[in-house]
Amino acid sequence: MNTQEQPIPLDQPMPHRKVIREWLIPLSNRVTVRALALLLLDFAIWGAFLAGTVYFEAVWAKLLCGVAMGFTIGRLFIIGHDACHQSLTPHRGLNKWVGRIAFLPSLTTFSLWDIGHNVVHHGYTNLKGFDFVWAPLTQEEFAKLSWMGRLLDRAYRSGCAPGLYYMIEI
């Protein structure tokens, strides 16, 4: 097995960022056909679930289609996110159009997301007073929270509730 495929031992320092970036090169190919195929597939799936919420009469079937449609909107949002980072296709203009189309079901404006996410969030990641997305609490700030605030903060940081965080905080 290649040494790059082994985890970094805990007693070893992190490799330089340039070394880590070299490891990621094979994973970061920008392929136009794959990007467009994913966009079309996810839009077709989203449309099928949308049609199901209208077509089915049973409430349980409508709810099931609605939940599945929500997950599909999340997948489309990821496509839009990658397009906004210019990491989906090798064509800047096509990334912008794919991102705009992919963001439609989530009602997200591409140009505002581009500024808020790429300029503010990635420019000042997790810095209090700059990054409106999320800045971690200090130990003292966390201790001052109510029990419900602590529970909510733990949920936000768990990775299981980004939608909850987005709906409440943003």
Residues 6+ apart with CB under 8 A from 135: 126, 127, 128, 129
**Series of mean pLDDT values for 10-residue runs along the chain (170 residues):** 64 84 79 92 96 96 96 94 91 94 93 82 73 78 92 82 74
Q: What pLDDT, on a 0 to 100 scale, did the predictor assign at position 4?
A: 56
d(CA 51, CA 65): 9
What does pTM read for this prediction?
0.70
Q: What pLDDT, on a 0 to 100 scale, did the predictor assign at position 1?
A: 40
d(CA 103, CA 169): 20
Domain ranges of the chain: 15-113, 123-170
Q: What pLDDT, on a 0 to 100 scale, did the predictor assign at position 8?
A: 78
Tokens coding 149: 């605030």
Q: What pLDDT, on a 0 to 100 scale, did the predictor assign at position 69?
A: 95
